[in-house]
A and B are shown apart, each in its own frame.
Chain A
Amino acid sequence: MPWVGKKLLANTPFLILCCLALGLLAYYLVRVNQADVSNLFTVLLSRPDTHAEEWNQWVRRYGGVFSMISPPARIGIQERGERATGVLIEKTSAGFHAKTVVSLASAHPGLVFNVDPVGKEKFFKGLGSRPEGDIWAMMKDNLYGDHMKIWYNPDLQTLKAGGYLKLMRDIDTKPDQLDWKGVRQLLGEPDY
């Protein structure tokens, strides 16, 4: 071991400071990505996926909101704090299935709903008792109240073909690169 290295390692204050700095850095990076790291461990360690299970219950109750999306289709759900991971809802001919994934982007969902805690509470309030049709008002409440944001696949043809564009339009949301006239034209709707 070179004598410079020995000198540094023998310097106890330096060693303590180094270890503290590295430890704090690691703690900060994990803390900032806490939600994603938690989901990562859920998937990697095959822990019970309670996160996806509650969204499974939600989509089975309010799946009608995705009726215009033709299977096979994928919708992503992220709660605030999640950036890369999230719950992927798959619509197949057999029905809906939700699961937590490590990389939502790699799963290529057509839309991703990013919901804050208030928005999530609104979605789940009275889950078993509210009429199914209330989901439309809940969606718009969350969007207008800025409790939910929608991220979409920028490929407009995929958006249109999969039925995602119509869903966006039905909840008063549009792609950033189109105006409302462009959305109606793409959907083949009459102009007002």
Chain B
Amino acid sequence: MSSQLDTRSVQEPSAAQRIDGEIYVSLPTRKLRLRGALLLVMLTVAGASAALAGYLQSESIQAGKFSKGETQCPGMSPAQKTAAQPKKS
């Protein structure tokens, strides 16, 4: 029984350490790596979303490559103005 415990402690070290005067209990290395991988995945997802949003913003019609038209009808003849009125149902 004690030899099994000794084997486990060698494979997954979790010894307490004193850092800056505080006791710090480290996680097993495997757990730390999993957490690191999770954080890396989340950073990648957020980075990809930001890159995509940046690309879509740069390609936006409203970003400056096109201009916005003005809708109005001054200078039209009275007949044309009448014809241009929206039909009322």
B-side interface residues toward A, CB under 8 Å?
19, 24, 26-27, 32, 35-36, 38-39, 42-43, 45-46, 48-50, 52-53, 55-63, 65-77, 84, 86-87
The docked-state distance in angstroms from the alpha carbon of A69 to that of B69 is 17
Whole-angstrom distance between the Cβ of B87 and the nearest chain A Cβ: 5
- Most chain B CB within a 10 A radius of its CB, from A76, A78, A140, A153: A140
Instruction: Report A178-192 CB contacts with B as 1/0, cut-off 8 Å.
Output: 001100100000001
A161 contacts the other chain (CB 8 A): no
Cβ contacts under 8 Å, A150 to chain B:
68-69, 71
Pick from B19, B32, B70: contact of A174, CB below 8 A. Answer: B70
A-side interface residues toward B, CB under 8 Å?
1, 3, 5-7, 9-10, 15, 18-19, 22-23, 25-26, 29-30, 32-33, 36-37, 40, 76, 78, 83-86, 102-106, 112, 114, 137, 140-141, 143-145, 149-154, 168, 172-177, 180-181, 184, 192
Whole-angstrom distance between the Cβ of A135 and the nearest chain B Cβ: 13
Q: Would you call A154 and B50 a contact (CB within 8 A)? A: no
Q: A7-B24, A144-B71, A175-B69 are in contact. Are A78 and B61 (CB under 8 A)?
A: yes
